[in-house]
Structures are given as C-alpha cells and as structure tokens.
C-alpha cells in the first residue's frame, strides 16, 4: 500500500512538472515526441537494479518505467524515465523545497535538445543544447547572482567559433575563437568549461593551435568584440 501511494505521488508530481515544462517556448524539435513509458515506479536504490554496458537492468531485464529517489521527508528528489534500459524522455531533479533544479531530455539513452538547470533561488544555472549526445550550438551558464559566466559555441561536439567566460563579478576570464581547428585569443583557466556540470564538457578531441587575436581580426570573423563598462559588465564594442 505504501509503495502504491508513493508511486501515485511521484506520478502526480512528474505529470505536473511535465505540464509546466511543455509551456516552454524554447523546447527544441527533439523534444516533441516521446515513447509512452510504463507506469512502473521503482526507487533508484532498489538492489535489483544493475547497469551493464549503458543499459539499466531490473531483475535481469532491461528496465522500462520510472526510476525515482526521495528526500528524507518523502518529497521527490529525482525522476528518470527509462525504456528498454535506456533513458527516454524528460528527467527532472528538484531541490528539497520542491523547486525544480534540473531538466534533461533523452532519446534512446542519448542527450538531445535543451538541457536546463536552475539555482535554488530560481536563477538559471545553465542552458545546454545537444544533438545525438553531443553539444551543439550555444552553451550558456550563469552564476547564482544571475551574471552570465560562460558562453561557448559548439559544432558536432567540438568548440567552434567565439568562446567566452567571465568571473562572478563580470570581469573577463577567457576570450578566444576556434576557427578551422585553430585557437585565437586568451584561453584563460584550463578546463573552465567543466565548472558547473560534472564532466559534461569534455576536452576537445582535436588539437588546436594558439595564436594572438586583435579586435580587427575578431571583426573580420563577424564576431562581436566585447569591452567592459564602469559596472564591470561586458558590452559589445563598435
């Protein structure tokens, strides 16, 4: 009886947040169709779960259903949908006060479309975009105070184009361009792309050359040149 009650509770919460998430106008084309996940809810610490080569098994069979975890007070901490042993659809994570912390989307176990996270105060933490489990397009991250601290561009899982990062106070941390496998500008701190999401950003698979960069060169690439105002915030230069 207790298990049935908790399953119904998780179903209610997940359905509620799915409805809220469906109102997001930035949802990508990858997130328009989902496989119907069976109404089977199992705690993620169940001893019958086992992983093998990227597939989640439950009682030695690929799991189809909802794996979830709870906080000590019984509130839902995380819900992950699986189909035939792989993540499928929206996974969601909440803070203890029931504020949505993270939302991701999967197709056959691969990251797709828009992935978002929020700080506990409701400020955006990051927005990442994926195509077939690889970063694609603009990837952005914000500090808890709402300041933009990372803005990277990816093409098929590799850095490509203008890459920038700032410290929490708005001062420039790194500013460079990747073009045709060559890096121009100020790389800044190594591995700065890995600060907010555990190992989500991987090191580039191809080697890049380092060269100095000037505003004239940046403009020749038709990329914005940033200067900093008295408030310490980045502004697009003329």
Read off the pLDDT of residues 31-80 as tens digits, 9 standing for 90 and up. 544 789 999 999 999 999 999 999 999 999 999 999 999 999 999 999 99
Residue whose structure tokens are 């909802």: 66
Question: What was the pLDDT predicted at 22?
Answer: 38
Question: What was the pLDDT predicted at 215?
Answer: 41
Question: What was the pLDDT predicted at 230?
Answer: 52
Q: Summarize pLDDT for 191-214 with one digit per residue, the tens.
A: 434 333 433 444 444 444 444 444
Contact between 226 and 234 under an 8 Å Cβ cutoff? The reply is yes
Instruction: Please compute the mean of the pLDDT values over residues 86-94 and round it to a whole number.
Output: 97
CA distances from 230 to 87, 160, 167, 171, 235 (A): 47, 30, 16, 11, 11
Residue 75 tokens read as 């509130």
Q: How many Å separate Cα 31 from the centre of its chain?
A: 14
Lowest-confidence pick of 22-26, 87-91, 133-137, 163-167? 22-26
- The contacts found for 176-179 with CB under 8 angstroms, 24 or more apart, are 176/213, 177/213, 177/218, 177/221, 177/223, 178/208, 179/221
For residue 29, the 8-state DSSP code is G
Position 19 pLDDT exceeds 50: no
Question: What was the pLDDT predicted at 130?
Answer: 98
Position 27 pLDDT exceeds 70: no
**Band (30; pLDDT cuts 50, 70, 90):** very low
CA distances from 15 to 8, 79, 139 (A): 10, 11, 28
Residue whose structure tokens are 């700065």: 192
User: Who wins on pLDDT, 228 or 152?
Assistant: 152
Question: What was the pLDDT predicted at 229?
Answer: 53
Q: Residue 138: which H helix or E strand, with range?
A: strand 137-142
Lowest-confidence pick of 5-9, 72-76, 104-108? 5-9
Question: What was the pLDDT predicted at 32?
Answer: 46
**Band (188; pLDDT cuts 50, 70, 90):** low
Q: 3-class SS at 7?
A: helix
Average pLDDT along the chain: 77
Contact between 128 and 200 under an 8 Å Cβ cutoff? The reply is yes
Lowest-confidence pick of 20-24, 102-106, 183-187, 226-230? 20-24
Query: In sequence order, what are the residues at sequence separation of 6 or more whose Cβ sits closer than 8 angstroms to the Cβ of residue 94?
Result: 75, 76, 77, 78, 100, 101
């Amino acid at each position: 009886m207790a298990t049935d009650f908790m399953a119904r509770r998780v179903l209610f919460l997940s359905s509620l947040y799915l409805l809220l998430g469906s109102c997001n106008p930035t949802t990508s084309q990858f997130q328009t169709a989902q496989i119907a996940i069976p109404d089977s809810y199992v705690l993620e610490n169940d001893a019958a779960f086992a992983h093998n080569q990227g597939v989640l098994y439950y009682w030695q069979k690929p799991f189809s259903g909802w794996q979830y975890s709870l906080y000590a007070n019984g509130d839902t901490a995380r819900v992950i949908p699986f189909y035939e042993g792989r993540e499928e659809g929206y996974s969601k994570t909440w803070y203890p006060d029931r504020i949505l912390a993270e939302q991701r989307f999967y197709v056959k176990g691969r990251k797709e479309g828009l992935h978002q996270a929020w700080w506990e105060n409701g400020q955006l933490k990051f927005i990442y975009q994926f195509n077939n489990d690889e970063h694609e397009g603009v990837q952005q991250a914000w500090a808890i105070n709402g300041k933009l601290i990372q803005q990277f561009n990816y093409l098929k899982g590799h850095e490509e184009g203008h890459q920038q990062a700032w410290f929490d106070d708005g001062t420039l941390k790194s500013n460079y361009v990747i073009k045709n496998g060559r890096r121009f500008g100020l790389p800044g701190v190594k591995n700065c792309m890995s600060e907010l999401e555990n190992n989500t950003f991987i090191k580039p698979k191809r080697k890049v050359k380092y060269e100095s960069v000037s505003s004239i060169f940046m403009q020749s690439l038709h990329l914005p040149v940033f200067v900093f105002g008295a408030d310490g915030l980045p502004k697009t230069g003329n």
